[in-house]
Structure 1
Amino acid sequence: MEFEGAENIQEYQSSAWASRAFCKNCGTHLYYRLLKTNAYNMPVGIFSSIQGLVMDMQYFIDKRPDYYCLANQTKEMTEAEIISYFATQM
């Protein structure tokens, strides 16, 4: 992963298995990174263009509000499933 303006990014290890990063200037959350695999989870709102982006997974689906519904079909994971998944990635 490459970032423009890397000098403005503050990353800290938030657990034994992951780190989180924020903008030093405004505090915007930039990513969650698994240390073992170097896999990134990034908020879609940080990208200047999402053309061609495909959303293929939703997690913590058992925690989402009833009014929240996305039209496309995706893989879905409950809180227990995602915690189990991340436990295998540590």
Structure 2
Amino acid sequence: MLTGSCNCKSITFTVKNVIRSSACHCGQCRKQTGHHWASGLVVDDDLTVSGEVRWYASSDFAKRGFCPDCGSFLFWKMVGEPKMSFSLGAIDGPTGLRLDRHIFTADKGDYYDIADNVPQREN
């Protein structure tokens, strides 16, 4: 089991059974985080959240969850899906995970290279 929190600890969460982990290089994730967003994917029933998450509808098909106090970007959820992504950077302590893939690499910033031999998907 993993535990995580926002920067100010107003929101805490626990995760069981991570499905996969990804680094998203899309323009929205880069703007939200200042770089790419590393996340784990979990079935909704394996994620427990305490505290008030504020949601931002970033598109017609997905929303992003963040702490209204400190602004930490914690969650990404596709509308109607029974799974959610959570921020690997918000995990308290080691994750024991490795990235499984890079996604939306066609949109990555020009200021860095992806050189870790993890599979890449352009969209």
TM-score bracket for this pair, using the shorter chain length: 0.5 to 0.7
| Contact map agreement 1:44 1:50 (CA 8 A) in 2 | no
Residues in 2 aligned to 1:37 and 1:10: alpha-carbon distance in whole angstroms? 18
In structure 2, runs of 5+ residues without a counterpart are 1-46
> What is the distance in 1 between the residues matched to 2:84 and 2:78?
7
29-38 or 56-65: bigger deviation: 56-65
Equivalent-residue separation in structure 2 for 1:46 and 1:62 (angstroms):
26
Larger radius of gyration: 1
Letter of the aligned partner of 1:43 in structure 2? S
Q: Which has the higher contact order (CA 8 A, sep 6+)?
A: 2
Task: Determine whether 1:17 maps to 2:61.
Answer: yes
Q: Which has the higher strand share?
A: 2
Is there any run of 5+ residues in structure 1 with no aligned partner, and where? Answer: 83-90
Cα offsets for 1:30-62 (capped at 9, x unmatched): 111012213223332111123311210101223
Structure with greater helix percent: 1
Give the match for residue 82 of structure 2: 38
Alpha-carbon contact 2:58-2:64 (below 8 Å) kept = yes
Could you say if the C-alpha distance between residues 51 and 70 of structure 1 is closer, same or farther in structure 2, counting changes exceeding 3 Å? farther
Give identity over the alignment, percent: 22
Aligned AA for 1:46?
A: A
Count of aligned positions: 76
